[in-house]
């Protein structure tokens, strides 16, 4: 049935393609124009040729879709002659329609395609998703559409943004998006396991395969992160669906028998129940898609971005957020910036969903290093640290260990870090009066009286218990071990916060002024208030300098000189020192001469 090629493909213009399309739509006698028009729908064709052929083929196939047999029913041909010829003709049309769909997906995934053309191709494919399955949502075609986006070598930003703006508002599109993404993630997970066994033979193929896998995972994350979760609604009439068939309603409602029939939107007494059913199924599909995705070997940049957004964009919409505990505890055990990013989600699971994590404070204590004060997400970390130390049930040795570790960090952090540390220590001392002995401790007086009663970690360590019983014989000894990762063994309860005295003489005026607040009696809670750590957690040199510039100063120190100074220091400032270049050169030469005489 292929038409005779009187002209080469490159000699057809837009007007001739439009004529071929009009002939195909006007009469069945020009059916041989169909393969010719199909040949122009390819990534290598000019965009205006693809556009003209696409419009004609879309108008041709759209009314025929209800009559076309499925691709799998080609063997079930009728026995009678007329019906058999009709079936053969429709089967041929079906094969051409499948070829048309494949060409559209190729154009959609082409990295050199025109954006306007891609938008039209996407709208055409979504129209076929809506009507080509007897009015029901064509899930297999939609799965192929998502596969072409995810496996594309070009960034999926434009296409995913189009789906988000036009189609993700429909609940059935979101429902089948989660199903397809879950299938894709499961397929990738199986490929990653099987391909690792083959990759050892060729190093180049292994690196290429890993780069392709990372590209797919990036594309999949961009897609799944732009699918909005289901927002609970008590009225199902507010839910829009892309396809309006009864079978899609059954799938969303979970119809399994005669007693569980799909509820019509017009029945107000069933609306609440139907909305609850839909919300439950949408949460389940959302959960399965995300859990399957998080099992993949995420690249480090995607890994960090997932951890940053997990507590706000994912956890509130999961059917069972505790399912993330393995992923989050593994991330929290990694250390460094990954642990800082995992802390937000882990804190949400512990405080809102009852997750028990025995070593949480030990891991949190290990994160207190100088580099944390330069991390990108330090503001959120310090706010969570303040929240984690808020409980009145916190043991005294644990509160003392955190206060002492933060106090020791005062010696090595920038001024912005000194401000947030001062705020944290202020709140810890105010919340836990049992550790106020750290503020002022005299040698040989407080060390042997009652520290063993409050320091639970010391009771477990026999060497430390002996040291507690005896007062210190040497002044100035700090029993705190800053290199100890276990707060129980740090010896903080036998130490003091002597580092705070250094911040009172800090070169940065805001740091020294703010440290004066620790001189108040923080045990009197009625006269003091907690400091909002968020006001200092995102500080930097720029914020401190900006605050000082905008600060109104009543008395400005001035310096007047009767004569213009010729040097930075005068000779009377440093007796016995000289700052004259001639004398310095003479002294150097004399030293060189004496060295030669000795040799």
Asked whether 177 and 240 are in contact (CB, 8 A), the reply is no
> Tens of pLDDT along 350-363?
888 988 888 889 98
DSSP three-state, residue 532: coil
pLDDT class of 81 with cuts at 50, 70, 90 = low
Tell me which DSSP letter residue 310 carries: I
Q: How far apart are CA 565 and CA 183, in angstroms?
A: 79
State the Rg of the chain over Cα. Answer: 37
Residue 84, CA distances (Å) to 76, 77, 574 in order: 10, 6, 113
pLDDT class of 566 with cuts at 50, 70, 90 = confident
- Across the range 14-43, mean pLDDT stands at 90
What does the domain layout of the chain look like in residue ranges? Answer: 9-71+85-136, 150-157+164-194+210-230+275-296, 298-357, 368-440+480-550
Q: Across all residues in the chain, what is the average pLDDT?
A: 79
Q: How far apart are CA 439 and CA 399, in angstroms?
A: 13
Kindly report which listed range (41-45, 145-149, 228-232, 479-483) carries the lowest average pLDDT score.
Answer: 228-232
Residue 413: CB atoms within 10 A of its CB come to 19
Tell me which DSSP letter residue 136 carries: B
The count of C-alpha atoms lying within 13 angstroms of the C-alpha of 571, restricted to the half-sphere facing its C-beta, is: 4
pLDDT at 355: 87
Q: How far apart are CA 90 and CA 100, in angstroms?
A: 15
- Across the range 283-290, mean pLDDT stands at 94
Kindly report which listed range (182-196, 297-311, 460-474) carries the lowest average pLDDT score.
Answer: 460-474
Q: How far apart are CA 430 and CA 215, in angstroms?
A: 51
Neighbour-count burial of 292, counting CB atoms closer than 10 A to its CB (0-12 exposed, 13-18 middle, 19+ buried) = buried
N-term to C-term CA, the chain:
107
Cα-Cα-Cα-Cα dihedral sign, residues 402, 408, 410, 413: negative
**Higher-scoring residue by pLDDT: 260, 354:** 354
The count of C-alpha atoms lying within 13 angstroms of the C-alpha of 27, restricted to the half-sphere facing its C-beta, is: 5
pLDDT at 467: 38
pLDDT at 136: 85
Residue 498, CA distances (Å) to 398, 424, 521 in order: 18, 16, 17
Q: How far apart are CA 55 and CA 66, in angstroms?
A: 19
Asked whether 113 and 44 are in contact (CB, 8 A), the reply is no
Torsion on CA atoms 549, 552, 557, 560, rounded to nearest 10: 80
Report which of 35, 31, 29 is spatially closest to residue 9, judged by C-alpha positions.
35
Report which of 530, 517, 540, 461 is spatially closest to residue 493, judged by C-alpha positions.
461
**Higher-scoring residue by pLDDT: 591, 328:** 328
pLDDT at 466: 38
pTM of the entire predicted model = 0.75
Percent of the chain surpassing pLDDT 70: 75
Is the pLDDT score of 74 beyond 60?
Answer: no
Is the pLDDT score of 261 beyond 70?
Answer: no
- Which tokens is 554 given? 């009543």
Cα-Cα-Cα-Cα dihedral sign, residues 182, 184, 190, 193: negative
pLDDT at 437: 85
pLDDT at 307: 92
pLDDT class of 531 with cuts at 50, 70, 90 = confident
Q: How far apart are CA 20 and CA 36, in angstroms?
A: 9
Residues linked to residue 136 through DSSP beta bridges, in sequence order: 133
Residue 441, CA distances (Å) to 104, 410, 495 in order: 78, 19, 8
Is the pLDDT score of 146 beyond 90?
Answer: yes
> Tens of pLDDT along 300-337?
999 999 999 999 999 999 999 999 999 999 998 888 88
Residue 255: CB atoms within 10 A of its CB come to 17
> Tens of pLDDT along 248-258?
555 555 544 43
Contacts of 414 (CB under 8 A, 6+ apart): 373, 374, 540, 541
| Tally of helices (H runs) and strands (E runs) in the chain | 25, 0
Q: How far apart are CA 489 and CA 455, in angstroms?
A: 10
Report which of 363, 286, 279 is spatially closest to residue 323, judged by C-alpha positions.
286
Residues linked to residue 133 through DSSP beta bridges, in sequence order: 136
Residues in the chain: 599
Asked whether 318 and 311 are in contact (CB, 8 A), the reply is no
Cα-Cα-Cα-Cα dihedral sign, residues 345, 347, 350, 352: negative
Q: How far apart are CA 207 and CA 303, in angstroms?
A: 20
- Across the range 66-70, mean pLDDT stands at 83
- Across the range 259-277, mean pLDDT stands at 49
Tell me which DSSP letter residue 267 carries: -
Report which of 276, 401, 474 is spatially closest to residue 263, judged by C-alpha positions.
276
- Which tokens is 84 given? 């058999």
Asked whether 278 and 253 are in contact (CB, 8 A), the reply is yes
pLDDT at 401: 94
Q: How far apart are CA 370 and CA 375, in angstroms?
A: 10
Q: Which residue has the tokens 């994350």?
A: 221
Is the pLDDT score of 407 beyond 90?
Answer: yes
Buried/exposed 472-486: b ≥16 CB within 10 Å, e otherwise: beeeeeebbeeebee
- Which tokens is 471 given? 């007062």
Considering 32-36, 335-339, 447-451, the range whose residues carry the highest mean pLDDT is 32-36
- Which tokens is 453 given? 């009663």
Contacts of 505 (CB under 8 A, 6+ apart): 512
Kindly report which listed range (107-121, 431-445, 503-517) carries the lowest average pLDDT score.
Answer: 431-445
The DSSP line for 426-493 is HHHHHH-GGGGGGTS--TTTSTTTSHHHH-HHHHT-HHHHHHHHS--SSTT-----TT-S-GGGS-GG
pLDDT class of 570 with cuts at 50, 70, 90 = confident
The count of C-alpha atoms lying within 13 angstroms of the C-alpha of 248, restricted to the half-sphere facing its C-beta, is: 23
Q: How far apart are CA 578 and CA 592, in angstroms?
A: 19
- Which tokens is 311 given? 């507590």
């Amino acid at each position: 049935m292929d038409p005779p090629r009187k002209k080469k493909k490159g000699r057809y213009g837009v007007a001739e393609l439009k004529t071929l399309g009009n002939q195909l739509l006007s009469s069945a006698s020009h059916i041989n124009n169909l393969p010719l028009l199909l040949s122009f729908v390819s990534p290598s064709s000019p965009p205006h040729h693809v556009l003209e052929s696409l419009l004609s083929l879309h108008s041709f196939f759209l009314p025929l879709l209800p009559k076309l047999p499925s691709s799998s029913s080609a063997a079930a041909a009728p026995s009678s002659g007329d019906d058999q010829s009709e079936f053969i003709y429709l089967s041929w049309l079906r094969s051409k329609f499948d070829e048309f769909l494949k060409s559209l997906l190729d154009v959609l995934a082409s990295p050199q395609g025109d954006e306007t053309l891609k938008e039209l191709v996407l709208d055409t494919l979504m129209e076929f998703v809506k009507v080509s399955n007897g009015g029901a949502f064509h899930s297999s075609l939609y799965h192929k559409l998502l596969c072409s986006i995810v496996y594309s070598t070009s960034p999926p930003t434009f296409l995913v943004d189009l789906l988000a703006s036009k189609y993700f508002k429909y609940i059935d599109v979101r429902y089948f998006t989660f199903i397809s993404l879950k299938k894709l993630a499961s397929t990738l997970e199986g490929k990653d396991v099987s391909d690792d066994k083959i990759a050892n033979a060729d190093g180049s193929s292994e690196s290429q395969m890993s780069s392709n896998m990372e590209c797919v995972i990036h594309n999949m994350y961009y897609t799944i992160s732009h699918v909005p979760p289901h927002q609970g609604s008590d009225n199902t009439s507010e839910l829009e669906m892309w396809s309006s068939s009864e079978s899609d309603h059954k799938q969303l409602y979970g119809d399994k028998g005669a007693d569980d029939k799909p509820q019509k939107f017009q029945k107000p007494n069933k609306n609440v129940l139907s909305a609850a059913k839909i919300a439950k199924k949408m949460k389940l599909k959302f959960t399965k898609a995300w859990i399957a995705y998080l099992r993949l070997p995420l690249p480090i940049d995607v890994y960090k971005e997932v951890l940053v957004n997990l507590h706000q964009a994912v956890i509130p919409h999961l059917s069972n957020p505790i399912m993330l505990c393995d992923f989050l505890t593994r991330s929290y055990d990694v250390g460094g910036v990954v642990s800082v990013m995992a802390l937000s989600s882990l804190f949400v699971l512990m405080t809102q969903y009852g997750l028990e994590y025995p070593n949480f404070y030990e891991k949190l204590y290990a994160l207190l290093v100088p580099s944390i004060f330069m991390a990108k997400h330090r503001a959120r970390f310090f706010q969570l640290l303040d929240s984690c130390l808020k409980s009145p049930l916190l043991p005294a040795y644990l509160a003392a260990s955190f206060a002492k570790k933060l106090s020791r960090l005062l010696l090595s952090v920038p001024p912005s870090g000194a401000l947030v540390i001062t705020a944290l220590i202020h709140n810890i001392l105010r919340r836990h009066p049992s550790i106020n002995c750290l503020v002022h401790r005299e040698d040989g007086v407080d060390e042997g009286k009652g520290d063993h009663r409050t320091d639970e970690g010391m009771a477990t360590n026999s060497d430390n218990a002996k040291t507690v019983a005896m007062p210190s014989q040497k002044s100035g000894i700090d029993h705190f071990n800053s290199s100890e990762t276990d707060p129980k063994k740090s010896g903080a309860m036998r130490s003091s916060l002597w580092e705070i005295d250094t911040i009172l003489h800090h070169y940065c005026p805001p740091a020294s002024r703010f440290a004066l607040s620790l001189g108040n009696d923080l045990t009197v809670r009625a006269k003091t208030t907690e400091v909002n750590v968020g006001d200092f957690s995102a500080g930097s040199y720029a914020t401190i300098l900006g605050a000082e510039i905008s600060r109104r100063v009543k008395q400005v120190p001035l310096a007047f000189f009767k004569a213009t100074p010729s040097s930075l220091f005068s000779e009377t400032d440093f007796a016995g020192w000289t700052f004259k270049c001639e004398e310095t050169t003479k002294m150097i030469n004399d030293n060189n001469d004496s060295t030669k005489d000795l040799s």
